[in-house]
Chains A and B, each alone.
Chain A
Amino acid sequence: MRILLIAIIFLLPNYNLLAENSNSSKPKHKWSFSGFTGTFDRASVQRGLKVYREVCSGCHSMKLLYYRDLIDIGFSKEQVKAIAADYTIIDGPNDEGEMFERPARPSDRFVSPFANEQEARVSNNGAYPPDLSVITKARKNGVDYLYNLLLGYKEPPEGFEIGEGMYYNKWIEGNQIAMAPPLDEGYVDYDDGTENTLPQLAEDVVTFLAWSAEPELEIRKKIGIKVILFFIIFGIIIYLIKQRLWRDVN
């Protein structure tokens, strides 16, 4: 029965992990935010935001983010105001019943590139660029998958039939993707002097997306360590009490 218990404990949570085995052959990247104490590399997240703003945001929305959220990644209030003001949103109706345009404010959500799905599709050869707000949680091993995907554009192998307007990518299911290779060396110029190689761009934008999907990650881990320590210490005390109590019974 004891062996069985151990087996149960190890088997149960592994159900999903086992089911995901097919994914394990993909290369893993080292991330600043992985592990028990990992935190987001602020500079990398900020560079990632720049990549998103200059490249990805041409097609992909991030509807769940507010501009004010950017304060979390190290921007000052003034900087956030300035970033928001670069975008225009349609507000209204005003007192005359008219819709009007105004610059975005920190309390606004990220402005989407397209008004609706139909407009997005017609501009993208029929494909719908997914919203990126929680994209790293919406794919198996999301961060590694996206990183690999961004670096995974290759010439199709011989005999591989590729659809009209599609691109070959090693890592997407079916190896065909409607998104044109989005990044390449030098696509974005960094202000902090970091080299803008393709792996660097990919790493930064994925770090940004990981932050966007799990903005609570750092505080979560911080609280987690405290909670675990609490249960361990409380557990040790209870264990000692239990030993003492049951000594008489034994």
Chain B
Amino acid sequence: MEKSPETRRYKNSFLNWIEYRLPIISYMEKEYGDYPMPKNCNYFWSFGALASILLVVLIVSGIFLAMHYTPHTDMAFDSVERIMRDVNYGWLLRYMHSNGAAFFFIIVYIHILRGMYYGSYKYPRELNWILGVFIYLLMMATSFLGYVLPWGQMSYWGATVITNLFSAIPVIGEGLKTWILGDYTLGNATLNRFFALHYVLPFVIFGVVGLHIAAVHVHGSNNPTGIDIKSKDDSVKFFPYMLVKDTLATCVLGVVIAVVIFFGPNLMAEVDNYIPADPLVTPSHIVANWYLAPFYAILRAIPDKLGGVTLMFGAILILFVLPWLDTSKTKSCNYRPVYKWFMMLFFVNFFILGYVGMKPAEGIYLLIARLGLIYYFGFLLVLTPLIGKIETPKSLPASISDFFMNKGNNIKESKSETELH
């Protein structure tokens, strides 16, 4: 085979040797060195990097935890406590893993909200969005499986509630549930397979994240204006400009996450999970992990079990078609005066759903959950297609550098003003 003319030459002969056989050096250079980032990306564009870092932290801490964990109903709880007490820095591993998972969700939620607000899911990044929603689905499954492993009260009863959902499916429901549990009730067979799946799914997530990143690098990142890179002036290289911003964001996250891990490691945990699982005692109210609470609220808002399950899964699956529900050509909500406020309301509504998802489903909470549910679907299915048709977007800047210069000028002006005072 003839040598391709593009093969890069490097000063270092070892790099050359590798590059000639596997062009990974030039690939890394292209994707993480020279990769053009729009100049005007704000710190919301660092959350993808933060999520990737957390995923690695979770996988590494998880592997070490798995070395000491015993997936058996009689021993799981004690083995987790053994990790906390007798394994060197086991408490650190476990708290990093459990709080890291919670922060992974926080980061990913902000990442998703950013994508929604700035219209990152629109042409030509639809597939990228779909891969993202797929990652989110996998995350939910993985976190649920992981939550079962300590075999505390909330593990056991949470898993009972969730696996019972499958029995709502007509005809095959009961059989499906038994197949998933590996037994007629939640037991050792279930715990074993949940551990196996919890170990393997993060690697699947890792793979899909790879695709997700590769896909976004094809057309480049979106930016707050929502317009594409048109000239070299519009962008900066990933290295070092974006990397330094991502590193700064990592430091900020590091401070926040360290405060939680070291000074309030159980703030986001359910106390009932420090009580060993007891199939004979039901906790006074079974709550979902807080990061799944919005969907738990939707589930319980419907009096009919099958209806609740359908809507709960529907609430996630509907996100897959968001790029085709949105009829507006304008990407960024900064230039969509009407839709912007409904989008904000959607975010707030999601929080409220999460809050009522943690409360008992009765009285006022049930009412709020139902209203929240109506807005959740109403926004995605009715408002999003409708507003795109009737709204007049603001005029977009001519180019990113144009926008960036103006913004820079504004800052300089205000600076000189303060200097004057």
Contact = CB atoms under 8 A, between A and B. Distances in A.
15 contacts: A1-B334, A8-B113, A15-B358, A18-B358, A19-B287, A19-B355, A19-B359, A64-B78, A64-B81, A142-B271, A213-B274, A223-B92, A224-B263, A231-B251, A232-B255
Interface of B: 39, 44, 78, 81, 84-85, 91-92, 106, 109-110, 113, 117, 236, 240-241, 244-245, 247-248, 251-252, 254-255, 258-263, 265-268, 271-272, 274-275, 284, 287, 290, 293, 334, 344, 347-348, 351, 354-355, 358-359, 408
Which DSSP category, helix, strand, loop or mixed, fits chain A's interface?
Answer: helix
B274 A134 contact: yes
A220 B347 CA distance: 35
Nearest to A35: B263
Given A8-B110, A18-B355, A245-B240, A234 B275 contact: no
A173 B252 contact: no
Contacts of A213: 274
Interface of A: 1, 4-5, 7-8, 11-13, 15-19, 36, 64, 69, 130, 133-134, 137-140, 142, 173, 213, 215-216, 220-221, 223-225, 227-228, 230-232, 234-235, 238-239, 241-242, 245-246, 249-250
Contacts of A231: 251-252, 254-255, 258
Contacts of B113: 4, 8
Contacts of B354: 15
Contacts of A133: 81
Given A221-B263, A249-B236, A242 B347 contact: no
A31 to B, nearest CB: 14
Given A16-B268, A19-B358, A220 B244 contact: no
A13 B106 CA distance: 9
Contacts of B240: 245
Contacts of A36: 263
Contacts of B266: 137
Contacts of B265: 220
Contacts of B236: 249
A245 B241 contact: yes
Contacts of B117: 1
A4 B347 contact: yes
Nearest to A242: B244
B241 A227 contact: no
A235 B256 CA distance: 12
Contacts of B109: 8, 12
A16 B268 CA distance: 6
Nearest to A237: B251
A129 B417 CA distance: 70
Given A220-B91, A228-B255, A15 B293 contact: yes
